[in-house]
Chain A
Amino acid sequence: MIGNFDARTPSGPLDKKWTSHKDHSRLVSPNNRRKFEIIIVGSGLAGGSAAATLGELGYRVKCFCYQDSPRRAHSIAAQGGINAAKNYQNDGDSVYRLFYDTIKGGDFRSREANVYRLAEVSSNIIDQCVAQGVPFAREYGGLLANRSFGGAQVSRTFYARGQTGQQLLLGCYQALCRQIAAGSVQMFPQTEMLDVVLVDGHAKGIVTRNLRTGKIDNVAADAVVLATGGYGNVFYLSTNARGCNVTATYRAYKKGALFANPCFTQIHPTCIPHSGDYQSKLTLMSESLRNDGRVWVPERKEDSNKPPNEIPESARDYYLERKYPSYGNLAPRDISSRAAKEVCDESRGVGPGGRGVYLDFADAIKRLGEETIRERYGNLFEVYEKITGENAYQVPMRIYPAVHYTMGGLWVDYNLMSNVPGLFVIGEANFSDHGANRLGASALMQGLADGYFVLPYTLPNYLAAQMGKRPSSDHPEFKKADSDVRAKIDNLLKINGNVSLDSIHRELGTLLWDKCGMARNKQGLDEALRKIPELREKFWREVRVPGDGEDFNQSLERAGRVADFLEFAELMCLDALARDESCGAHFREEHQTPEGEALRDDENFADVFAWEFRGNGQIAPPKLHREPLHFETVHLTQRSYK
């Protein structure tokens, strides 16, 4: 039984679907809203904006986050900007163009209707953020400024220095604070969701652990919203925060929610290269740098160890400009990342280990002056210098791709509800809008679209039929989930081996990066699928989790997350193996054009892959369900950025 596996895409012309859907969705009247309790897990752009908005509408909201304050959710680290089809630049932008760029950028593996809605509400997001006091960059006349971003030929990205995510998150954190003060939202920081509770097939609550005291609680509600972000940390090294994890979505998957396109992971082209085993995370350098920086490597591999200033212009290969003349350094992320891997595979990479390419600002500094570059990217240059000890005004930056974002996530319908009734999934945690590759400055847009402007319309449609159906948290289903959670914690504490958690997680990460990273093939994926269960066994036999469960225990928190990553990794590789085509970030080496670009197979794979967990406590092969994608408006073409 998988419940609702219908995308519920409204009928009618593309540009009328959302309006007509809103017009025909059920409502909950103001005096009834306070009778509904909504659980929201996560307080980033999606969760925070949803909690604030639903609280203000009059619902009783409980919002949970693992951080010590909702303001620290990982949305805060997004740098570059947020897209919106305002056409303030008079350069030909429109809702249709933003929609088309997004669906093409995603390599035609997302739903037309969802993406169109995203483009449609993008303008409202900017209005909302400005009203909240987000200090976006402005022109001298006082109007809003824009910059350009990868995968687009118009300037539609709004930004607040290199800290756009921070400012948008603080905007929604402040709105959330207002609701907390008003009593409509109850905030539970340092609290982790460890299970979803289903009653009569509907999501009606969660089991949580208070990370500070170790206390396990059962919380009942009328609906559950997961806004728990992405699973990039399955690779151990990524640009994600240390705490980002797959636990909430994976445990929902084990309760019956379908997991869609798990192999679609975005490898961001501009990160500071990896420098050693001790390293705990990778740092992103905003893609906006590619507006003014030029990417190159030496033409000949013999030059790759020479200092960059000793390599003359004629011996440099500006490979993005050469291969993609019309988009140049602003080619989309998946394409830029793969191009960097390619030149490094040819031994033309630079820096320690040869896994790096130059991002050079010399021309931009000559053209615009150092002051202008400092104004645009000053904080990024400072971050770079802190980490590497190098001054990028004088020597080119070294960059290399790193895991950054996950397009895959729990399957949802047009209402952002999973196949489990009452379980909604928003933001990066769902799979819905980015297809096989996300364009820059679109993650912030999607998080806020879902929380401010989509969920507040689609959630009531579900709630309207749920009046009075909230179970008590004493219901036997809660008791069962509660004891499962406790047993899992006890099992982790009982292992008492002599291997560290990080070492197993690192091993898993290296394996995935090699076999299920920027390029995949059948042989490598088969090998990964053989090794992951071995690693999982090693974990459950040899890992050491100190302390006890009744206390603030960071090792225990992380152990639970790594245990889930060790199961989830297998699902990712299965998905990558089953998708026997290349598309967007999913590059199967067996399927490429003569020029080495991703070769889609629309005949057989224009589908969403949604996986159903099977196995009773044990892990059995999951079952694949396919949702065919229907393209009524766009014409499927081979993506060309040449």
Chain B
Amino acid sequence: MNFKLRIWRQRDAKSLGRLVDYDASDIPAQASLLEMLDIVNERLLLRGEEPIAFDSDCREGICGTCSLTVNGEAHGPDHPGAACELYMRKFRDGATIVVEPFRVKSFPVIKDLVIDRSALDRIVQAGGFISARAGSAPEANSIPVPKHDADLSMEAAACIGCGACAAACPNASAMLFTAAKVSHLALLPQGEPERTRRVVSMVRAMDAEGFGNCTNTYECEAVCPAEISASFIAKLNREYSKASLRRSAGE
């Protein structure tokens, strides 16, 4: 297959970037988008040009490293799935494909298509955990968890931390990311003791990182490779309101 590519090139965080045109010819239909970029890079290299920098690691949709906006959509048109799970047979032969990094103020560009998402780590550091010292855990089956709650918790926990939710959101909100972690832990009895403190400090960290607020456009849910439901944002709001009430009541 043959494609016309328009790819975002940017030297570093301080430089201005621009879209650069490349031809990608003779691409196997079974190749993934990232493999297509590998082929283009190999050709650029042999022509003496600098290869396109882009991030990827597991290339099977679980590590959350790849972070491409393809034709204006976070992770491209084949939802649900990360950009590494996007295959060229999904495109029309001869199509023009525009590849940019995720566009979020809180994810500055490092080079070309590579961005800095450490803001997401800092949200988890603010409280996205259960404090359980190794060695102090009770017998696993002494904490029964209703199957329904465990399954729902797992649905939230499936988040791969890619940041597509923020990239797709017109407000660059990281609510879906934060909601997924808050819900995962709030749905389990083990998460109960730190429930109030967790949601308040995670939301505070999210705001401090410069992410926007949620106005219910559901773009996040539409692009999420792990199919995290936007209803977890409603849960986050409930958790946050309850926690704020408890705090203002002096609990």
Contacts and interface: CB of A to CB of B under 8 A. Distances in A.
B179 interface: no
B171 interface: no
Contacts of B62: 76-77, 163, 166
B124 interface: yes
B130 A128 contact: no
A175 B132 contact: yes
Nearest to B115: A68
Nearest to B143: A130
B161 A71 contact: yes
Interface in A377-399: 383, 386-387, 389
Nearest to A544: B45
Nearest to B26: A278
A501 B163 CA distance: 31
Interface stretch (A177-185, A469-477, A634-642): A177-185
B19 interface: no
Interface in A11-62: 49, 52-53, 56
Interface in B137-152: 137-141, 143-147, 150-151
Contacts of B30: 275-276, 278
B140 to A, nearest CB: 4
Contacts of B53: 552, 554
B137 A131 contact: yes
B57 A546 contact: no
A498 interface: yes
B3 to A, nearest CB: 14
Contact of A74 (B42, B57, B85, B135): B57
B116 interface: yes
Interface string A229-247: 0000000000001110000
A242 B57 contact: yes
A234 B172 CA distance: 40
B113 to A, nearest CB: 11
B51 A212 contact: no
A241 B59 contact: yes
B154 A135 contact: yes
Interface centre among A130, A187, A279, A503 (most CB of B within 10 A): A130
Interface in B96-140: 110-111, 114, 116-118, 120-121, 124-126, 128-140
Interface in A279-294: 279-281, 283-284
Contacts of B65: 67-68, 72
Contacts of A86: 140-141
Nearest to A281: B59
Contacts of A544: 45-46
A278 B31 contact: yes
A554 B85 CA distance: 21
Given A127-B139, A133-B184, A72 B110 contact: no
A137 interface: yes
A280 B56 CA distance: 11
Contacts of B124: 71, 173-174, 177
A241 B147 CA distance: 33
A74 B184 CA distance: 22
Interface in B29-68: 30-32, 34-35, 38-39, 42, 45-46, 48, 50-51, 53, 55-65
Contact of A127 (B28, B60, B87, B140): B140
A139 interface: yes
B189 to A, nearest CB: 9
A69 B42 CA distance: 27
A181 B126 contact: yes
Interface in A584-617: none
Contacts of B217: none
Contacts of B111: 551-552
A72 B59 contact: no
A170 interface: yes
Interface string A246-269: 000000000000000000000000
Interface stretch (A111-119, A141-149, A322-330): A141-149
A88 B39 CA distance: 50
Interface residues of B, number: 76
A161 interface: yes
B21 interface: no
Interface string A135-166: 11111111110000000000000001101001
Contacts of A389: 87, 89
A67 B147 CA distance: 34
B125 A142 contact: no
Contacts of A425: none
B214 interface: no
B105 to A, nearest CB: 18
B111 to A, nearest CB: 5
B12 interface: yes
Nearest to B86: A386
A140 B28 CA distance: 47
A131 B51 contact: no
Contacts of A94: none
Nearest to B89: A389
A52 B134 CA distance: 9
Contacts of A88: 141
B88 to A, nearest CB: 10
Contacts of B145: 138, 142
B65 to A, nearest CB: 5
A622 interface: no
Nearest to B121: A69
Interface in A95-136: 123-124, 126-133, 135-136
B157 interface: yes
A546 to B, nearest CB: 6
B46 A139 contact: no
A261 B139 CA distance: 37
Contacts of A283: 59-60
B157 A387 contact: no
Those 10 A-B pairs whose CB atoms lie nearest each other, nearest first? A142-B144, A131-B137, A174-B129, A131-B132, A127-B137, A135-B154, A241-B57, A130-B140, A181-B125, A135-B153
11 contacts: A69-B120, A71-B121, A76-B58, A124-B137, A131-B138, A133-B191, A135-B150, A144-B141, A174-B128, A280-B59, A386-B85
